[in-house]
Amino acid sequence: MSKGTRLPEDWQPDPADTERMRKEFPGFDLAAELENFRDYWTAKAGAAATKMNWNATYRIWMRKAGKDPKAAKHQAFRPQAPVPHAQRSEPDHLLYFANRLLFRHLSDRHGIGAVELAAALKVKRETIEWFTRPVLEGDENATPKEFVTQFAKALTRVSPLSGSTRRRWRALLESSDAQKPFPVDMARVLTNQAHP
């Protein structure tokens, strides 16, 4: 008799299943619900956390979530995909970009200790400082992809990244915007801005 397994850290749903769910529940935020699915099954303990077929478990989960009137009611309030730099109404900067990355890391780790946080903030500051000149000079290699790659390498030395953070950052690296150089304005001098 076969035994079930826990959800593998790098598990991804079958693209055909995702497309089927997208057609069954148009407008439903499958990406956000996939994170709920991963977090739930990763955190769950005991025999109930093992499954014979994770694709079938995913389909069942998504159908329940898609049919839930509460989920539909709150769908409009779910975070949307990031808007490209030029279309954001808020000012953007390397500092804000790094802060968003670090916040995601802290959230996925459910917080970290004071010493680890101080080291992570130092890495953030050094990565921004290291990246500022190439951005100001319009270096074509000064891209979000390069920034995230360097930040992740340095941060991992002082504050290990969770599987969830790695997946989110990897998805960011695969976007077309991640390949484009940062606008020069991203490295402008900020006044009255705390920079821990």
Q: Please spell the DSSP secondary structure of 38-70, one letter per residue.
A: HHHHHH--SGGG-BS-HHHHHHHHHHHHHH-HH
How sure is the predictor about 2, in pLDDT bands with cuts at 50, 70 and 90?
Answer: low
Closest to 100 (Cα-Cα) out of 141, 148, 38: 148
pLDDT, one tens digit per residue, over 124-171 is 999 999 999 999 988 898 999 999 999 999 999 999 998 888 898 888
* More confident call, 195 vs 150: 150
Q: pLDDT tens, 41-62? A: 888 888 888 999 999 999 998 8
Of 41, 154, 166, nearest in space to 109 by CA? 166
Whether the predicted model's global pTM rises above the 0.75 cut: no
Calpha distance 31→35 (Å, rounded): 7
Burial of residue 66 (number of CB atoms within 10 Å: 0-12, 13-18, 19+): buried
pLDDT value of residue 46: 81
